[in-house]
Amino acid sequence: MLKRPLALFFLSLVIFATHTDAQSDKNGARKFDEFGDVYVTDIKARADNFAIELQNNPMTKGFIIVYRSRRDLPGLSFRYADRIREYLVSTRGITEDRIVAVDGGESQCLMQELWIVPPNTAPTPRPDAYKRNFDDVNAARKFDEIPIGEEQGLTLTGFADALLAEPRSRAYLIAYGQYYVERGSFEDSGKRVHYKRVYLDPRDTASTLLNQARQTLIDPYHISASRIRLVDGGYRQQPALELWIVPLGEHAPIPTPNSFPHQRPRKKQ
Q: Model confidence over 177-229: pLDDT tens digits?
A: 999 999 999 999 999 999 999 999 999 999 999 999 999 999 989 999 999 99
User: Are residues 224 and 201 in contact, defined by beta-carbon separation less than 8 angstroms?
Assistant: no
**Nearest-angstrom CA–CA distance, 167 and 150:** 33
Domain extents in the chain: 10-117, 141-247
**Nearest-angstrom CA–CA distance, 216 and 102:** 20
Considering the segment(s) 141-247 as one domain, its CATH architecture is 2-Layer Sandwich (3.30)
Task: Tell me the whole-structure pTM to 2 decimals.
Answer: 0.82
Domains 10-117 and 141-247 share a fold: yes
Share of the chain above pLDDT 90, in %: 78
| Domain 10-117 fold | 60s Ribosomal Protein L30; Chain: A; (3.30.1330)
pLDDT tens column, 69-88:
999 999 999 999 999 999 99
- pLDDT at position 45, please? 97
- pLDDT at position 187, please? 95
Cα separations in angstroms, 187 against 184, 191, 192, 193: 11, 6, 5, 6
- pLDDT at position 74, please? 93
